[in-house]
Amino acid sequence: MSNSFSSQRFSIAPMLDWTDQHCRYFHRQLTGDTLLYTEMVTTGAIIHGKVDYLAYSEAEHPVALQLGSSDPAALAQCAKLAEERGYVEVNLNVGCPSDRVQNGRFGACLMAKALLVAECIDAMRQVVSIPVTVKTRIGIDQQDSYKFLTDFVGTVAQRGGCDTFIIHARKAWLSGLSPKENREIPPLDYPRVYQLKSDFPQLTIAINGGVKTLEEAKVHLQHLDGVMMGRESYQNPGLLAQVDRELFGLDAPVADPVAVVRSMYPYIEAELAKGAYLGHVTRHMLGLFQGIRGARQWRRYLSENAHKPGADVSVLEAALALVADKIPQEA
């Protein structure tokens, strides 16, 4: 198998306001091989922002940067910075349908501008040696035929040199639906993505959208090179503890959720010392014990106490006491 197949085999989707640095560090405690993505970051924020939008912990690797822009020169500048900072991949967002993103002339509306996307990809590829990939939809508005999708992919692959596409298996409505509705209302069409791989066997094709279990991921991997999981990985992060064994075939022990929580303590203490609130980190950990008796008490205790002034890891220890003795032990 190629390196691109391995790196894309399973990944966690870039999710705005969710997959921040704290979230990625937490997810890495559960799975060592899953490719993690940043939230989408605009080129303007990176180039002109007063905050270091490229900051991450070395412990997060492998980690990829998702960019939002339609300016080839700005994308090239940011891709070069990303490679210098150690990111393993740069991904261009051609899938987000929000009004704010459209107003910036990027995201899903770029599906209608395949030549511009190709120019953007080519500009980044000219200045970096790491992979440059595209995350897109299967169509937009009334432009939702299979030919529209193949024309887009073919143009970006041939003119831009892109060899890896992550396909959200829904089209996007650019007006009339909220971003949340665009993740739920347009129907999923997995067979269309399977057909795309069949028609472009030389490309690495990963699928995104509606994947809720590792068993579902295994079915997709019979047809495709990779699976990207979104909200389920965030809301039920405990399933990530099985990924290295189930999807990467590693003889790895399944992470104990209590041990995972405690493995976060040094990181949390370091972040608190920098001025972060405990809740900034623990909001990503609320779903860890989903399906286990005491999970609701865990969530409630953290939600009520993690944002209090002076909250530290003792809050987590108290929350663990509500659930730790209820976790079934493997024989």
Q: Tell me the two tokens of residue 242.
A: 């099985």
Query: Could you tell me which of 17, 174, 208, 187 has the C-alpha nearest to residue 97?
Result: 174
Q: Which residues are catalytic?
A: 96
Strand partners for 122 = none
Phi then psi dihedrals of residue 238, to 5 deg: -60, -30
Q: Give CA–CA dist 259/198, Å, rounded.
A: 43
Q: Tell me the two tokens of residue 119.
A: 């120019």
Q: What is the dihedral of CA 33, 118, 121, 77, to 10 degrees?
A: -150
Secondary element (H or E) of residue 207: strand 204-208
Proportion of the chain in helix, strand, coil states, percent, rounded to 5: 50, 15, 40
Q: CB atoms < 10 A from the CB of 249, how many?
A: 10
Phi then psi dihedrals of residue 91, to 5 deg: -120, 135
